[in-house]
Amino acid sequence: MAVLALIGFLSIFSMIGCESKDEKAAVQPITEMANSIWGESRVEVSNDTGMTYPEHSDTNMSYEQFLKLYPMNWQLVQVYLNCERFINSNGDMDEQAEIDKYKAFAQKLADHKYMRSSISIWYITPGAYDRFDEAKNSDMTVINYFKDEENEQGKLNLVTANGIDIDEQGQIVTTNEELHKGFDIWKEERVKSTKLKNDGGSYNEKIKNHIYAIFADLLASSNTHVCGTAIEGGG
């Protein structure tokens, strides 16, 4: 399901370009929910208000109201975490603890009527985390900004990722198996990234290409929901 394409690594970058950079109504409450689960975190939300839909341009409408206008919409929630708080020097992390947090966060979203949401959790380097505001204030999405830095400047930004979806009933539709598989996909990259950090932190082009190849294969072989592809009526 969503987890294997969860991050929409090859598709998520193009779907938010029509939105304004103004702070949206959902960002603060969802950030507070994320902080209650992970501690300090940064959040980007898209496909959540009329910003994407010129006929209804009220950026302060609740997402519950927005879904009544566009019931096929999927809200996209990106949570960014400092990887050093969750990944040890061997590239290991407490997967079950993180899965429990995903579920708790998804439940909070559902309790606050943020249905039909795809949630992506990005564990990024401390340097990338410090540059979040810079990325957010750019003319790109945050994830596009970090990806561009990796491509153009050789920076190491993205260390691991996973995600979870909730449907129109607020039910989690991502399984534990899918979540563990998501962690497994990134395991080798976490280890390599840790080694690169210990060796000076330069981002090897071959490793980057390997990551993208993994996701390309997953997306090509998956017949399930991909973050962003189920959105209808968007700009």
Pairwise CA distance, residues 146 & 190, whole Å: 17
Encode pLDDT of 87-143 as tens digits: 998 899 999 999 999 999 999 999 999 999 999 999 999 999 999 999 999 999 999
Token pair 């080694």 is at which residue?
195
pLDDT exceeds 70 at position 40: yes
Selection from 18, 122, 27, 107 nearest residue 75 by Cα? 27
Encode pLDDT of 47-97 as tens digits: 766 555 656 667 677 888 888 888 888 899 999 999 999 999 889 999 999
Contact (CB, 8 A) for 27 and 45: yes
pLDDT of residue 57: 66
Encode pLDDT of 143-194 as tens digits: 999 999 999 998 889 999 999 999 999 999 999 999 999 999 998 878 877 7
